Amino acid sequence: MVPNSTLLTHLDYTLWATSKLLDAATRLTPDQLSLDLKVSHTSVLSTLQHIYYADRTWLARLTGQQIPFADPDPGPSLDDLKEAWPPVIAGLRTYVESAIDLETNLTATRLNGATFTCARWKVLLHVVNHATLHRGQIMAMLRQLDQVPPATDLFYFYLQQDV
């Protein structure tokens, strides 16, 4: 088990890094946002949507809700994500702040229909790690589009917090 303070710090990091990447994506044209770059979930926008859907689904699972994983096509726009995503991450943070025991297991159904059981604190670390993985892929996509991606490494977040 990790302390709740560590989980909260990493959720704050996720919000910080996601916000930086969403801001960087606003420099792209609509064609660049949806261009299939043969990475991850094809395009910058589709990969951002995927991370958002995952964050939203994990929050729902943790709070005992059932929601569909994805929205109908075309899914949320970049502006929609900038508005809808921060409250999801804030919801995860609120969940950690109000949780009595994050060592208890979450049992839920995966997208493929299989049931799984995992400690809630591990799920929360997975949420952060999953987003980090895909943000890294988006950084590579931004470079392919001749953009300079923002620094979103965890260490830069730590340095900013220690100022």
Is the pTM higher than 0.85? The answer reads yes
Q: Give Rg (Cα) of the chain.
A: 16
pLDDT at 160 over 80: yes
DSSP 42: B
Give residue 50's pLDDT. 97
State how far the Cα of 12 lies from the Cα of 56, in Å rounded to an integer: 16
Look at 21-25, 83-87, 95-99, 144-148 and tell me which has the smallest mean pLDDT: 95-99
92 contacts 11 by C-beta, under 8 angstroms: yes
pLDDT at 23 over 60: yes
Give residue 99's pLDDT. 80
Give residue 1's pLDDT. 87
Helices (H), 26-119: 30-34, 44-62, 78-98
pLDDT at 163 over 60: no
Mean pLDDT of 20-33: 98
The CA–CA distances, whole Å, from 94 to 35, 104, 125, 126 equal 35, 17, 15, 17
Angle in degrees, 0-180, between the axes of helices 4-25 and 154-161, rounded to the nearest 10: 110
Q: List pLDDT tens digits, range 38-66.
A: 998 999 999 999 999 999 999 999 999 98
Q: List pLDDT tens digits, range 102-112.
A: 999 999 998 89
76 contacts 51 by C-beta, under 8 angstroms: no
Torsion sign over Cα 134, 69, 109, 22: positive
Q: List pLDDT tens digits, range 90-145.
A: 999 999 999 878 999 999 998 899 999 999 999 999 999 999 999 999 999 999 99
Quick one: 4-157 is in which CATH superfamily?
A: dinb family like domain (1.20.120.450)
Name the residue with higher pLDDT: 163 or 20.
20
